[in-house]
Structure 1
């Protein structure tokens, strides 16, 4: 039986709140076995852009990344945020290594082609993007890789890549070598049956149940693309996907997405 590898994706408010981020990292340090972290940038990059007189541009939650924006998000994601996460894990005894996709050629992306929208320097991933050999080596030495949302194209160009996409791609690529659990950590305790009731967490969802919940409108709006990607990861060999509160990762309340 292959080893369990847990990949935790964090973002949103948890990145913006130093106390909550510290609480999450302390909880993560108590998770046994090999693990990886993928983080977004929270609202800090947009605030930095505004402070420098650059108007942030978002389309359906995706950042339009021109050259000036790329410079700022690279500094913020790969620099300040990444090293804060790494330092926080080191504080709790986890030997972490901060990475962009360019480091060790670990994640290579291709620039998104211009169609209806020009996203600028945004990177897309495919099944060949992840350097699984290097990751297995790092994990084998006991290191915890910490990924920001910056990748590269192999020709010297850095690219801004969605952190959820990075987490899913890592999970899929490593599924042949580990029993991969992909954890999406945010402010809710899981997928809610009633968005007005924080206690209405659905403990488990199969693909059939998911289609039924979507048809009934129980799961809608922004949760749909996240769960679509999660079930696609399960189909690609990921063992299970967990939707949970970033501050309660060692507690039983959560939603577990299963293949059947």
Structure 2
């Protein structure tokens, strides 16, 4: 018997920061057919509120160093302010959303990132997704909304990369569902020419991926994103889509689909 489909959608901080963009996205998300999960970050809002509280945000290669003070801000902003706003807005769209961290229902367990050259502080690397607990919520007709926080099982919350949470959730849930990921970001998709917003590569498979790597088309911030994608595809995820929020509509086909 074929598995039921599950869409896992990730939105970044730029959409969260812009009320108009967020409302438009949540309308598209609510119209998305079938079972679904939303994952969100909120880094820009966290940086803004931290500075209001006189806490300096420290970044390294685009990743946040999370000391104890910063973790408090992140928990307030991701798990509280952003998550509950999104949940309330989805309820207004008649989507019965439930806001979660990885600690809720023991749904996402992480290890604290080991100290190598850099101590990232209270940052988690996902170890296990409790897909049965998440499926109980989905089966009860709730739409889970995960923020970028997990836990270590010993009472410690951990700041965790939202892209990674998305891919690991999709891998975990693929035990039960045919899972597809939608990474919503500013660009229309993976671009052949970074200076031409319309040069979207519509489909990337393993063979083309290797060619694009050799040609240097995939570089910088796209490297870890695509690496993450193929790791998820090799571990049970069916398809991954990358592009702007319009890819959630039936009419738009100007985005990148990634398959094995």
Contact 1:149 1:162 in 2 (8 A): yes
Partner of residue 227, structure 1: 226
Structure 1 residue 12, shift from structure 2 partner: 2.9
How many residue pairs were aligned? Answer: 257
Contact 1:234 1:240 in 2 (8 A): yes
| SS state at 2:240 partner | strand
Structure 1 residue 108, shift from structure 2 partner: 1.4
| Partner Cα distance (2:210, 2:87) in 1 | 38
| 1:33-90 per-position Cα deviation (integer Å, ceiling 9, x unaligned) | 0000110014110111111111101111211111000000100000000011111111
| 1:179-225 per-position Cα deviation (integer Å, ceiling 9, x unaligned) | 10011111111111111111111110001101101111222111111
Alignment of 1:108-119 (within 5 A): 108-119=109-120
Partner of residue 189, structure 1: 188
| SS state at 1:184 partner | strand
| Partner Cα distance (1:248, 1:204) in 2 | 14
Give unpaired runs (5+ residues) of structure 1: none
Contact 1:16 1:42 in 2 (8 A): no
Residues 242-251 or 97-106, more deviating: 242-251
Call closer, same or farther: CA 1:132–1:85 in 2, change over 3 Å. Answer: same
| SS state at 1:38 partner | strand
Partner of residue 148, structure 2: 149
| Partner Cα distance (1:140, 1:191) in 2 | 34
| Partner Cα distance (2:48, 2:86) in 1 | 19
Partner of residue 218, structure 1: 217
Structure 1 residue 105, shift from structure 2 partner: 0.9
Partner of residue 78, structure 2: 77
| Partner Cα distance (1:58, 1:42) in 2 | 11
Residues 212-221 or 25-34, more deviating: 212-221
Q: What's the TM-score once normalised by structure 2's chain length?
A: 0.96
Find out whether 1:162 has 2:161 as its counterpart. yes
Residues 29-38 or 193-202, more deviating: 193-202
Partner of residue 170, structure 2: 171
| Partner Cα distance (1:188, 1:93) in 2 | 29
| SS state at 1:75 partner | helix
Alignment of 1:24-35 (within 5 A): 24-35=25-36
| Partner Cα distance (2:138, 2:164) in 1 | 21
Query: What's the Cα RMSD here?
Result: 1.0
| Partner Cα distance (1:209, 1:247) in 2 | 25
Give unpaired runs (5+ residues) of structure 2: none
